[in-house]
């Protein structure tokens, strides 16, 4: 018995309609844990280099991990993996809610989909029974309505659904599926893969129990985590107000980007606007706390908004990333506009970070006279103009006029209009998330050089710096490799296990390893964790390398590293030597920065990477 | 000398917005004063807070002056 796993994986070809069930191999579980560990290995094996991400040979994965659907706290996430249509390289994005555990309880650790259906379809999985069903009647429906429609159609009120909205149907490059109405594996172009496959939704219902090697130990670890959570002020604050509790402080202390990464919070945005966009102020709309599956913290909340220019009725508390992307980044201190954009993104299926950042790019281009009123269908997209922001967002959602261009993200729009490229704020083409490397310098390495670029949920020293006041020693770039690699590999294991990043707010790192050991029965000590994390990292890295993407090819726009430095505010004068951080990191990881080649002996020592060694070094390994 | 204080995040509404301090007081001393007068649950938050004085980042050694405006911010990197 494979403890901690459903024991099966699904492989579906939407061109032929073939559904194949395979056992989850023990070696795969031991070597890659789950999540994007599984995903990177399987997509590497299934996809050839050069595959069109939007073509029939492109594979899309929905993957759980060993902590999912067990009693382990924070174990409720699932990961979507694919080749990014934006970067042309590896992509993964994860999401909370209840969809992941339900997929596993329905009998499957993972689901991999290739091919293109001739007509819209959805995949229905109910306790081991799998069908590809017609979705013609659901095409055009928003993500919340499709969830309700499918619950009724299947007569399963506890059905969980991950669905694209109209944005994904139009193959918008910054679209994404939404599960549970408002949770999103959003980043890097997950939605366009579903849209290109004519896959409207995956609907799951499961009641199976997952075998756990040492259930008493899991409960014992839970008690420890609960106690630690009570002692963590950060966890208490997130539990009370969600991630948006930090929005005002971040907007002013330099953590949040301001004015398309060109401004200064205390100067350009100000305290009044910053405070309005935080969840302490916004929680006047709160009706109910929301916890994802197996989460003792509960950073989510349901809102009821019946005032302002856009009375939305029931909606959700925006995450910090959303509040900053539609707030300080646009100099917008109008919370009703931000709440409306959040709702549009959730219903039409957009990545809120990329959507906000795309509007920020267009806004700066408009203010500088690069984009004209005519380009923007008559909309005066001036800094902080909430009504204009909502109008542009709605056009993106409807794929209408300039929205049909902007819905593919800022990089696409700059190429389409052939102007404004110098104002993009991206990592390898992906819009940057809402934590500024000038405040937390280690983030520059993570954003630029992680195989999944431009992410705030990947590891590295920046994740720790983000939680500290600005420190001069963080701007000394010598000797960062060991800590940067160590923290990266910890997050590799965390993400692959399907645990939430916020578990780190209230539990020491070894808790993740303890959960994995208790659930799977594997020996999972610090050394195993390091090697497993590095193996997973290498697999993602190798996917890019096989596509011809080496560290030197990865890009990060200049404002994010203080080139030139800001001239005012708390980050005045700071810049980040991201190349040095990258060289330190790759040297520690056993990868030659210039050639991009990983050390052959290291790959052999790690094991489980035979195909990678063969592709890089030939048959005679 | 008198300084003005403004707080963001969970410190909000629980702390003084004006303080009369001795000449030459630095941020480290101000932090200690605030921690000593705060509720128990705010002490760890204040000890890890960012201090921005007149729109510029301040460290423990930054000396405060009359009429300085001090922003006390909780570093809470949300996701």
pLDDT tens, position by position, A223-250: 999 999 988 888 888 999 999 999 999 9
- B78 part of a folded domain: no
Q: Which residue has the higher pLDDT, A576 or A506?
A: A576
B38, B59, B78: which to substitute to probe chain A, counting the most A Cβ within 10 Å? B78
Chain A nearest-CA residue for B12: A280
How many structural domains does chain B have? 1
- B30 part of a folded domain: yes
The residue-averaged pLDDT of A54-74 equals 98
CA–CA separation, A358 vs A172, rounded Å?
13
Q: Are residues A382 and A346 in the same domain?
A: yes
The residue-averaged pLDDT of A35-61 equals 98
Say if residues A495 and A79 touch (Cβ distance below 8 Å).
yes
CB atoms within 10 A of CB A151: 17
pLDDT digits (tens, 9 = 90+) for A442-470: 999 999 999 999 999 999 999 999 988 89
Residues of A in contact with B39 (CB under 8 A): none
Say if residues A340 and A310 touch (Cβ distance below 8 Å).
yes
Cβ of residue A216 closer than 8 Å to a chain B Cβ: no
pLDDT digits (tens, 9 = 90+) for A531-557: 999 999 999 999 999 999 999 999 999
Q: How distant, in Å, are the alpha carbons of A411, A458, A475 from that of A564?
A: 22, 26, 15
> At a CB cut-off of 8 Å and minimum separation 6, what does A618 contact?
none
Q: Are residues A192 and A254 in the same domain?
A: no
Cβ of residue A404 closer than 8 Å to a chain B Cβ: no
CATH of the domain at A58: 3.60.9.10
Cβ of residue B71 closer than 8 Å to a chain A Cβ: yes
Residues of B in contact with A456 (CB under 8 A): 79
Chain B nearest-CA residue for A433: B79
Cβ of residue B60 closer than 8 Å to a chain A Cβ: no
CA–CA separation, A54 vs A171, rounded Å?
9
Say if residues A201 and A135 touch (Cβ distance below 8 Å).
yes
Q: Are residues A508 and A377 in the same domain?
A: no
Q: How distant, in Å, are the alpha carbons of A161, A188, A200 from that of A126?
A: 12, 29, 17
What range does the domain containing A87 cover?
8-205
Rounded to the nearest integer, the mean pLDDT of chain A is 97
The residue-averaged pLDDT of A358-377 equals 98
Task: Give the confidence band of A621 by pLDDT, cuts at 50, 70, 90.
Answer: very low
A245, A249, A506: which to substitute to probe chain B, counting the most B Cβ within 10 Å? A249
Query: Which pair of structure tokens corresponds to residue A553?
Result: 């090819």
Q: Identify the pLDDT of residue A620.
A: 57
Say if residues A185 and A78 touch (Cβ distance below 8 Å).
yes
Q: Give the lowest-confidence range in A249-258, A349-358, A466-475, A572-581.
A: A466-475
CB atoms within 10 A of CB A313: 9
- A262 part of a folded domain: yes
Phi, psi torsion values for A482, nearest 5 degrees: -60, -45
Cβ of residue B48 closer than 8 Å to a chain A Cβ: yes
Cβ of residue B27 closer than 8 Å to a chain A Cβ: no
Q: Determine the distance from the C-alpha atom of residue A504 to the mean position of all C-alpha atoms in its chain, rounded to a whole number.
A: 17
Query: Which pair of structure tokens corresponds to residue A40?
Result: 């990177």
Residues of B in contact with A266 (CB under 8 A): 52, 55, 71
Per-window interface: A 452-471 vs B, CB < 8 A? 456-457, 463, 466-470
pLDDT digits (tens, 9 = 90+) for A412-445: 999 999 999 999 999 999 999 999 999 999 999 9
pLDDT digits (tens, 9 = 90+) for A482-525: 999 999 999 999 999 999 999 988 888 889 999 999 999 999 99
Q: Identify the pLDDT of residue B79.
A: 64
Q: Identify the pLDDT of residue A509.
A: 85
- B79 part of a folded domain: no
How many structural domains does chain A have? 3
> At a CB cut-off of 8 Å and minimum separation 6, what does A87 contact?
A188, A428, A429, A430, A453, A549
Question: How would you list the strands of the sheet with A129-134, edge to edge?
Answer: A129-134, A121-126, A199-205, A160-163, A178-179
CA–CA separation, A8 vs A64, rounded Å?
11
Mind telling me how many Å the CA of A75 is from chain B's nearest CA? 17
Q: Among A153, A175, A205, which residue terminates a domain?
A: A205
Tell me the H-state helices in A208-334: 215-231, 233-241, 247-253, 271-276, 279-282, 320-325
* Predicted-complex ipTM score: 0.89
Chain A nearest-CA residue for B50: A469
Q: Which residues of A204-235 are buried (b: 16+ CB within 10 A; e: fewer)?
A: bbbeeebbbbeeeebeebbeebeebbeebbbb
């Amino acid at each position: 018995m494979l403890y901690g796993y459903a024991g099966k994986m699904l492989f579906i070809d939407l061109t032929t309609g073939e559904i194949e069930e395979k056992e989850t191999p023990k070696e795969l579980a031991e070597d890659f844990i789950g999540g994007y560990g599984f995903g990177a290995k399987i997509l590497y094996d299934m996809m050839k280099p050069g595959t069109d991400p939007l073509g029939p040979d492109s594979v899309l994965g929905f993957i759980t991990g060993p902590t999912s659907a067990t009693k382990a706290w924070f174990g409720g996430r699932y990961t979507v993996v694919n080749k990014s249509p934006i970067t042309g390289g590896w992509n993964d994005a994860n999401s909370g809610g209840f969809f992941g555990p339900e997929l596993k309880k329905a009998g499957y650790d993972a689901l991999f989909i290739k091919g293109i259906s001739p007509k819209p379809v959805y995949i229905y999985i109910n306790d081991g029974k799998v069908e590809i069903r017609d979705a013609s009647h659901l095409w055009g429906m928003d993500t919340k309505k499709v969830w309700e429609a499918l619950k009724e159609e299947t007569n399963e009120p506890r059905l969980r659904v991950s669905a694209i909205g109209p944005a994904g149907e139009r193959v918008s490059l910054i679209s994404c599926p939404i599960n549970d109405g408002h949770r999103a594996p959003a980043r890097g172009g997950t939605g366009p893969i579903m849209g290109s496959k004519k896959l409207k939704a995956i609907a799951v219902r499961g009641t199976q129990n997952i075998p756990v090697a040492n259930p008493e130990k899991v409960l014992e670890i839970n008690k420890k985590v609960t106690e630690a959570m009570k002692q963590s002020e950060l966890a208490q604050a997130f539990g009370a107000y969600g991630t948006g509790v930090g929005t005002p402080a971040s907007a002013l202390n330099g953590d949040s980007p301001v004015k398309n990464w060109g401004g200064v919070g205390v100067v350009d945005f100000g305290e009044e606007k910053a405070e309005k966009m935080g969840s302490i102020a916004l929680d006047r709309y709160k009706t109910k706390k929301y916890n994802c599956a197996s989460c003792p913290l509960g950073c989510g909340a349901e809102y009821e908004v019946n005032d302002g220019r856009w009375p939305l009725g029931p909606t959700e508390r925006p995450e910090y990333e959303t509040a900053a992307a539609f707030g300080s980044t646009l100099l917008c201190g109008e919370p009703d506009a931000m709440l409306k954009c959040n709702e549009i993104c959730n219903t039409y299926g957009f990545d809120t970070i990329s959507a906000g950042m795309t509007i920020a790019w267009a806004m700066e281009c408009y203010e500088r006279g690069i984009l004209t009123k005519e380009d923007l269908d008559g909309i005066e997209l001036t800094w902080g103009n909430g009504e204009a922001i909502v109008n542009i967002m709605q056009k993106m959602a409807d794929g209408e006029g300039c929205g049909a261009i902007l819905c593919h993200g800022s990089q696409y729009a700059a190429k389409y209009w052939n102007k404004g490229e110098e104002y993009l704020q991206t990592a390898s083409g992906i819009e940057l998330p809402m934590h500024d490397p000038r405040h937390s310098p280690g983030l520059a390495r993570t954003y630029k050089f992680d195989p999944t670029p431009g992410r705030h949920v990947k590891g590295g020293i920046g994740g720790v710096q983000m939680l500290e006041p600005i420190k001069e020693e963080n701007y000394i770039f010598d000797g960062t490799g060991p800590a940067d690699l160590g923290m990266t590999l910890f997050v590799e294991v965390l993400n692959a296990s399907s645990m939430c990043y916020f578990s780190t707010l209230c539990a020491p790192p070894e808790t993740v390893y303890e959960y994995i050991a208790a659930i799977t029965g594997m020996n999972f000590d610090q050394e195993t964790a390091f090697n497993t994390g590095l193996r997973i990292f290498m697999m993602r890295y190798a996917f890019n390398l096989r596509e011809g993407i080496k560290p030197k090819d990865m890009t990060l726009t200049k404002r994010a590293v203080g080139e030139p430095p800001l001239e005012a505010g708390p980050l005045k004068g700071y810049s980040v030597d991201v190349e040095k951080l990258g060289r330190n990191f790759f040297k520690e990881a056993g990868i030659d920065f210039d050639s991009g080649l990983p050390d052959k002996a290291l790959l052999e020592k790690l094991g489980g990477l035979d195909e990678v060694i063969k592709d890089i070094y030939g048959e005679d390994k | 000398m008198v300084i003005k204080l403004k707080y963001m995040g969970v410190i909000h509404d629980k702390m003084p917005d004006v303080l009369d301090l001795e000449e030459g007081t630095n941020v480290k001393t101000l932090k200690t004063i605030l921690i000593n007068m705060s509720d128990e649950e705010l002490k760890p938050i204040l000890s890890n807070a960012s201090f921005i004085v007149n729109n510029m980042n301040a460290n423990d050694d930054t000396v405060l002056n009359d009429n300085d405006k001090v922003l006390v911010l909780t570093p809470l990197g949300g996701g």
